[in-house]
Structure 1
Amino acid sequence: MIITRTPLRVSFAGGGSDLPSYYEKYGGAVLSTAINKYIYLTMHPYFFKSGYFLKYSEVEHASKVDEIKHPIIREVFRLYGIKGVDFSSSADVPSGNGLSSSSAFTTGLIQLCNAYKELYKTKAEIASEACHVEIEILGEPIGKQDQYACACGGLNFIQFERSGEVTVEKVYLTSDGYHRLENNLMLFYTGITRSASSILQEQKSNTTHDTKKIENLHKMVGLAGNLRDELLRNNIDAMGEILHQGWLLKRELASKVTNPQINDWYERALRAGALGGKLLGAGGGGFLLFYVQEQNHQRVRDSLSDLKEMPFKFDNKGTTIIHFNKHSLKGIFQ
């Protein structure tokens, strides 16, 4: 049996610039971190030695790879020639949350298949392959930041070159700065799940043809670089203002990024002392992130008492194999 653990991610600035419709013209950059909320994937030989037994949010029995309904599982298994396996997945948080659960799943599955086949790829190679599966094979209207954040782990400044090349720069903070940043970030679950595809499709169209929205993305990329520089100077509180500036820009990129209820929660948190925040992922629901100095934590919690808070820490390992029983790979019939 093999088990992989892949972190979800929180993106702070530059989101949207990882879409090819933008970075192929201008180049892009984001600043994000992996967090200690995970997707767990398990695989071992199937009792019947052929076909597939798959357990995720649904249960599937398939005799051939083409019969697998789950698109990511089908295409990754096809890519690696996986057959005769019992596969299952579980997660710390629900899907459709803005924390990159889909890309974490893809990244973890590629790590799992490499281990099952006794192959090795670097984390950057795993991220690149996850992008290939999601964007090129499945045609999802998504960007590249999530795959690299989930695969590599840590606090990163990720750049997207016009050529398509991706570079991951670790952002190293002082011990005090790291603790303050981790401590002063607060996540609240809105209870609204959504598909990012329609929002991203509209955003892609807008940032291809609308000059003002393209300019917004230029500014958002600049904020990612500014945030990196401020954090490296140990100006941790700059996170609040930069999150707020980014949110004001982001909500103009597509019509469904926010709504009156989300705006109300956001304003309530600011009145209670949050220095800034944003809705994670494409928008429309999922998690609200706020930067809040410690003395105002309880006031913000009280102002958002109708939402579920999710405490978290940073993850520095990225996608990881947490259990590998090589003997089991020989199959249960031998």
Structure 2
Amino acid sequence: MLLASCPLRISLFGGSTDIPAFIEKYNFGSVISFTCNLKTYITIHRDTFGYNIDKGLYIINYSKKEEVKSISEIKNDPVRVVLDHFNIDPLTISLTSDSYSQGSGLASSSSYLISLIKAIAIFKNMNFSNIEICNLAHKLELKFNPFCGFQDAYGCGIGGLKKIDFEKDGTIKYNFLESKIFNFYDTHLVFTEVTRNSSTVLQDVTKNIDKAKSLIPVLEDAHKALISENYRYFVELINYSWEEKKKTSKLITGNTKVIELDNYFIKNKSVLAHKLCGAGNGGFFLLISEKGKLNINMPSVKINLEPLGVSGKKF
């Protein structure tokens, strides 16, 4: 048996500029994000004489259980595309996560893909670097989510707080940033109790891709603020960027629950900054507050920076 894990990513600035349509038009995109201590986990096992070997069944365990004879029958998208790519014979795969896995805005699909690719690589004694795993994960995710941006795979698989630049020729550039800001502020997640298909929102953003252009100057200002340790301004820019982000598609705040929470966080003085994670219209709100001073009337989960990316080992 072997285990692989990959952190989820929290996007702070630049979301939507990593969409292929934006990069194609403006020649580049850029995001600032960090990996958090919430992760996805994959375990892989092939029995000696049982369902895998004797009966030729793929056993896939997640919120559902699948027992199928062929890869094409697998309904779980990440598992199906990875097993098909590597042409894997029947085995047993279990998927679990520290968070809600579908429609969370935390790039869970990409994280699962990366975890599974890492697990398969160990299983087959293949030596992939983490960036090679990210490259493959993005390529495979496009097969079932053609509107996904670059930041999910490249933000999950490589750990830390970082600025990532995506160029039209396919070049990916990482600028790893000092994480001292986490010494001064807490980061929490609040679940909206709404899950959504990110493809619907991303498709709408793609139709109005020019509106995302305003996010780049905000990101550049945030990058400068972080480098100069002007953390208060950096936090203020998260709010400004969120307001600009909402202008890129009406679907981002397309339901009553999200709108109610957004307005509540705007009025709550203990919340210095907030934004929806991912494409929007559901999933998790990210909240920034002073250390130990968040005061809200709903459940939240405190998250921390995870400096490492994907990892795995055999037992």
- TM-score bracket for this pair, using the shorter chain length: over 0.9
Task: Give the secondary structure class of the aligned counterpart of 2:263.
Answer: helix
- Counterpart residue type for residue 310 of structure 1: V
Question: After superposition, where does 1:254-273 map in structure 2 within 5 Å?
Answer: 254-258=249-253, 259-273=255-269
Equivalent residue, structure 1, for 2:223: 228
> Which of 170, 178, 200 matches 1:172?
178
Task: Give the secondary structure class of the aligned counterpart of 2:303.
Answer: coil
Question: After superposition, where does 1:174-189 map in structure 2 within 5 Å?
Answer: 174=180, 177-180=181-184, 183-189=185-191
Asked if the contact 2:186–2:292 (Cα under 8 Å) also holds between the matched residues in 1, the reply is no
The 1-side partners of 2:66 and 2:292 are apart by 50
Equivalent residue, structure 2, for 1:332: none
Asked if the contact 1:24–1:163 (Cα under 8 Å) also holds between the matched residues in 2, the reply is no
The 2-side partners of 1:250 and 1:222 are apart by 13
Equivalent residue, structure 2, for 1:283: 280
Task: Give the secondary structure class of the aligned counterpart of 2:236.
Answer: helix
Equivalent residue, structure 1, for 2:198: 196
Q: Deviations over 1:41-79 (max 9, x none)?
A: 000113341331111121111222222222221111111
Question: After superposition, where does 1:89-168 map in structure 2 within 5 Å?
Answer: 89-95=95-101, 96-135=103-142, 137-168=143-174
Task: Give the secondary structure class of the aligned counterpart of 1:128.
Answer: helix
Pick closer, same or farther for the CA change 1:29–1:84 going to 2, 3 Å. Answer: same
Equivalent residue, structure 2, for 1:330: none
Equivalent residue, structure 1, for 2:39: 38
Gaps of 5+ in 1: 208-213, 326-334
TM-score by length of 2: 0.92
Asked if the contact 2:37–2:305 (Cα under 8 Å) also holds between the matched residues in 1, the reply is yes
> Does 1:218 pair with 2:213?
yes
The 2-side partners of 1:262 and 1:238 are apart by 25
- Counterpart residue type for residue 152 of structure 1: I
Gaps of 5+ in 2: none
Pick closer, same or farther for the CA change 1:224–1:81 going to 2, 3 Å. Answer: same
Pick closer, same or farther for the CA change 1:40–1:204 going to 2, 3 Å. Answer: same
- Counterpart residue type for residue 324 of structure 1: K
Equivalent residue, structure 2, for 1:329: none
The 2-side partners of 1:153 and 1:294 are apart by 23
User: Comparing both structures, which one devotes a greater share of its residues to helix?
Assistant: 1
- Counterpart residue type for residue 178 of structure 2: Y
Q: How far has the Cα of 1:260 moved from its partner? A: 4.3
- Counterpart residue type for residue 200 of structure 1: L
RMSD, matched Cα: 1.6
Asked if the contact 2:33–2:163 (Cα under 8 Å) also holds between the matched residues in 1, the reply is yes
The 2-side partners of 1:78 and 1:294 are apart by 46
The 1-side partners of 2:263 and 2:70 are apart by 52
TM-score by length of 1: 0.87
- Counterpart residue type for residue 252 of structure 1: K
Pick closer, same or farther for the CA change 1:256–1:88 going to 2, 3 Å. Answer: same
Equivalent residue, structure 2, for 1:25: 25
Task: Give the secondary structure class of the aligned counterpart of 1:66.
Answer: helix
Q: Deviations over 1:248-276 (max 9, x none)?
A: 11111112101444233223223222232
> Does 1:320 pair with 2:311?
yes
The 1-side partners of 2:95 and 2:116 are apart by 10
> Does 1:63 pair with 2:69?
yes
Alignment size in residue pairs: 306
Is 159-168 or 7-16 further displaced after alignment?
159-168
The 1-side partners of 2:306 and 2:64 are apart by 28
Q: How far has the Cα of 1:9 moved from its partner? A: 1.0
> Does 1:249 pair with 2:244?
yes
Question: After superposition, where does 1:81-96 map in structure 2 within 5 Å?
Answer: 81-95=87-101, 96=103
Q: Deviations over 1:131-174 (max 9, x none)?
A: 10011x33531101010111001101011101122112211244
> Does 1:75 pair with 2:56?
no
Equivalent residue, structure 2, for 1:210: none
The 2-side partners of 1:78 and 1:271 are apart by 49
Q: How far has the Cα of 1:296 moved from its partner? A: 4.3
The 2-side partners of 1:93 and 1:288 are apart by 13
Equivalent residue, structure 2, for 1:3: 3
Q: How far has the Cα of 1:238 moved from its partner? A: 2.0
- Counterpart residue type for residue 268 of structure 2: A
